[in-house]
Amino acid sequence: MSALQKPFHFSEADYLAFDATTDVKHEYVDGYIHAMAGASERHNRITMNIGFHLRSKARGSSCGVFLSDMKFRAEHGRFYYFPDVMLVCNQDDDNQFYKEKPCFIAEVASVSTEKIDRREKWVTYSKVESLRYYLLVDSTKKFVEYYFRDEQNQWQAAILEDSESLEIECENYRAVLDVESIYEDVTFS
């Protein structure tokens, strides 16, 4: 009978060194590294749709829109995630390999990622002072849930209905998202 091995614990520096040498994306969660799987066509279309609509309003501004290849660093390096879409308008957030002060994050949830997106990532994201909006977009059906900070800086949750739109306002940035734009050219069988 073989003995179970303890998972290897990585420091932040070890993770970043490892990440620089691999073609596979890995998230870093409090010392542990997790490989990320590929995404479906629907997932990619939804991600691109959100990114496109946000980027079209960011052109010529100091805001950057990043898709799933830009890392998000949280809690002084305890966590590194690859959000599906991230909007950053803080000019001081200028690291070339990760961002720490997004005002908007969207995760496109699948059957395999929904629990992590809804629990683990949300717990981490909700602590980020700069974050104003967090979208959870279902990739199996038209369903968008979002969290936003109200005037008292408290998180509120809502469902984006077909007839509604969500105004994204961050510093000198403004965009509007609706269900139709998010799911443009996405088919469900």
User: In the chain, at which residue ranges do the beta strands (DSSP E only) sit?
Assistant: 26-29, 32-35, 64-67, 71-74, 79-81, 85-88, 98-99, 104-109, 133-138, 144-149, 155-159, 165-170, 173-178
Q: Which tens digits make up the pLDDT trace of 114-145?
A: 898 999 999 999 999 999 999 999 999 999 99
pLDDT at residue 5, as a whole number: 60
Q: Which tens digits make up the pLDDT trace of 21-68?
A: 998 889 899 998 888 877 889 999 999 999 999 999 999 999 999 999
Prediction pTM value: 0.91
Which domains are assigned to the chain? 39-182 (3.90.1570.10)
pLDDT at residue 34, as a whole number: 86
Q: What is the mean pLDDT of residues 88-113?
A: 94
CA 106 to chain centre: 4
Confidence of residue 109 (pLDDT cuts 50, 70, 90): very high
Cβ(153)–Cβ(130) below 8 Å: no
Q: How far apart are CA 172 and CA 103, in angstroms?
A: 12
178 or 35: which leads in pLDDT: 178
Confidence of residue 2 (pLDDT cuts 50, 70, 90): low
Tokens of 133: 């909006």
Cβ(130)–Cβ(90) below 8 Å: yes
